[in-house]
């Protein structure tokens, strides 16, 4: 029986994915687990593997197509096998909805019918352009491969008009001067009275420049660097990944009433233990255990004693889900943005297993090879900026988690130890918690448990 290949859903925020390339052609033999194609989402580039062994019978969406999640994009089966939905001649209709090629057949006036089949634009951008009578072919897209988003159309609408001062506009109207061909000397190219007067002294009328020359300039203007009295301001469009990060962080920051707990932890014993076991772990696993790995183990052990810190809240805020297991997220920063891969079943792992799992998931994240389920179902998140010398910071909760731990740098500090002032390696840990689920007292208890685990690290190995 033929098996369908679908556009995977890589996280709750993903609504569509773009096919970058197919690694197999129709008629090729594929093995289960073999990479079929590469897609790009708002978060990462991702390889999609075959879920069955057989022949790639039909490809329904091509490279460059943008397809909704869980939409069928191909079929795998036995050679000659009939595909569900195929006609008697064996022809198969393309994917039901390919956003990039979608055409709106709503009856409109003839003058409004424009062929945008070759353009890359989101449904929202197309709908807004139709409503406002904007020609999408004149809009510059900021998405992958020039894909046009609604914000790009709004940008074009706001900036495509000639910028002119009221006085200059009045003079131009009286004198019959076409302002489209005038380059303004005011802020951001605004046409001023002096510009109109300069035209009047040279000629009584200026013919409008050909539309082919003027139209392309409109969308480019807001993207170009602007110069003011202090210097140059560069306008950089937000990438799809950055837009999603912006949306999720705003939702988290403005929807969750949070509180913050800071503790200073003496890292002497943990650093000494790491030094003793690091070579043995490298010899057995080929992976180097980092300070983050030891802290992660301490966090996992502590979370099992404080389920409200390892919880999530229902969308209607009427139920709390207490997780009696730990799926640990590790924030991984890249030039293009932030991804948060998840170590599933971390509470059942030994230190060595955790080191291996952490390195594998981080490497996948950095190489853009994460699978959809490797970024889903986290219960708690760790964000570490210590390697950059950061002494303290307040992370924003990675929802639907109810808390996140910020790990800072280990710095030598004078402290009182056994009645004497001595210099010890001290690290600041910061817990940001959702007050709807976690009370301040519970947050403080969790941090106390975590501090004790880190300062007595042998207990982590028992």
CATH of the domain at 195: 4.10.320
Nearest CA to 218 out of 104, 134, 121, 131 is that of 134
**Residue 170, in any domain of the structure:** yes
**Residue 211, in any domain of the structure:** no
Q: Pick the last residue of a domain from 16, 50, 77.
A: 77
435 belongs to the catalytic site:
yes
Domain tally for the chain? 4
Same domain, 24 and 170: no
Catalytic residue among 201, 323, 324, 435: 435
Output the domain CATH number for residue 66: 2.40.50.100
**Residue 451, in any domain of the structure:** yes
Same domain, 187 and 150: no
Same domain, 194 and 151: no
Residue with tokens 């003011």: 228
Q: Pick the last residue of a domain from 42, 77, 112.
A: 77
Same domain, 284 and 181: no
Expressed as residue numbers, the domain containing 423 is 257-460
Rg (CA), the chain: 29
**Residue 335, in any domain of the structure:** yes
Same domain, 72 and 176: no
Q: What is the pLDDT of residues 63-122, one digit of tens each?
A: 888 888 889 999 999 988 888 766 555 555 555 555 545 344 444 334 344 445 557 777
Output the domain CATH number for residue 148: 4.10.320.10
**Residue 95, in any domain of the structure:** no
Terminal alpha carbon distance of the chain: 50
**Residue 310, in any domain of the structure:** yes
Q: Pick the last residue of a domain from 77, 98, 132.
A: 77
Find out whether the peptide bond into 185 is cis, omega within 30 degrees of 0: no
Same domain, 439 and 375: yes
Output the domain CATH number for residue 450: 3.30.559.10
Same domain, 266 and 329: yes
Q: What is the pLDDT of residues 318-377, one digit of tens each?
A: 999 999 999 999 999 877 678 899 999 999 999 999 999 999 999 988 887 777 778 889
Q: What is the pLDDT of residues 10-60, one digit of tens each?
A: 665 677 788 888 999 999 999 998 989 988 776 666 788 898 999 999 999
Same domain, 265 and 362: yes
**Residue 161, in any domain of the structure:** no
Strand-pair category, 328-330 with 380-384: parallel
What is the pTM for the complete model shown? 0.61
pLDDT, position 425: 96
Same domain, 184 and 287: no
Same domain, 412 and 293: yes
**Residue 224, in any domain of the structure:** no
């Amino acid at each position: 029986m033929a098996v369908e290949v679908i556009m995977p859903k890589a996280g709750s925020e993903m609504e569509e994915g773009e096919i970058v390339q197919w690694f197999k052609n129709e008629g090729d033999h594929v093995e289960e687990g073999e990479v079929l194609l590469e897609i790009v989402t708002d978060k990462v580039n991702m390889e999609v593997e075959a879920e069955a062994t057989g022949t790639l019978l039909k490809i329904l969406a091509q490279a460059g197509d943008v397809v909704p999640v869980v939409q069928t994009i191909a079929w795998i089966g036995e050679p000659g096998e009939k595909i569900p939905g195929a006609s008697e001649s064996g022809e198969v209709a393309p994917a039901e909805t390919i956003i990039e090629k979608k055409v709106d057949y709503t009856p409109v006036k003839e003058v409004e019918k424009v062929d945008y089949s070759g353009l890359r634009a989101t449904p929202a951008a197309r709908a807004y352009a139709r409503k406002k009578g904007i020609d999408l072919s004149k809009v510059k897209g900021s998405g992958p491969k020039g894909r046009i988003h609604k914000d790009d159309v709004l940008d074009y609408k706001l900036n495509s008009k000639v910028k002119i001062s009221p006085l200059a506009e009045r003079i131009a109207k009286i004198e019959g001067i076409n302002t489209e061909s005038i380059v303004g000397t005011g802020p951001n190219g605004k046409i001023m009275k002096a510009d109109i007067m300069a035209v009047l002294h040279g000629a009584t009328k200026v013919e409008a420049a050909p539309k082919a020359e003027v139209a392309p300039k409109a969308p480019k203007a807001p993207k170009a660097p602007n110069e003011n009295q202090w210097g140059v301001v560069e306008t950089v469009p937000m990438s799809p990944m950055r837009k999603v990060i912006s949306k999720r962080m705003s939702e988290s920051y403005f929807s969750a009433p949070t509180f913050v707990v800071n503790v200073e932890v003496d890292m002497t014993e943990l650093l000494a233990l790491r030094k003793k076991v690091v070579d043995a772990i490298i010899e057995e696993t080929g992976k180097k255990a980092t300070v983050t790995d030891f802290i992660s183990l301490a966090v996992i052990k502590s979370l099992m004693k404080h389920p409200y810190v390892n919880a999530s809240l229902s969308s209607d805020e009427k139920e709390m889900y207490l997780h009696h297991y730990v799926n640990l997220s590790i924030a991984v920063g890249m030039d293009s943005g932030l991804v948060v891969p998840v170590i599933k079943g971390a509470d059942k792992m030994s230190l060595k297993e955790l080191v291996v799992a952490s390195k594998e998931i981080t490497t996948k994240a950095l190489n853009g090879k994460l699978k959809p389920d490797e970024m889903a179902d986290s219960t708690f998140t760790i964000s570490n900026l210590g390697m950059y010398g950061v002494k303290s910071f307040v992370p924003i909760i990675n929802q639907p988690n109810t808390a996140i731990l910020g790990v800072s740098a280990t710095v030598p500090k004078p402290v009182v130890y056994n009645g004497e002032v001595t210099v010890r390696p001290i690290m600041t840990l910061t817990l940001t918690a959702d007050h709807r689920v976690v009370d301040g007292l519970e947050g403080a208890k969790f941090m106390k448990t975590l501090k004790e685990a880190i300062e007595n690290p042998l207990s982590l190995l028992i």
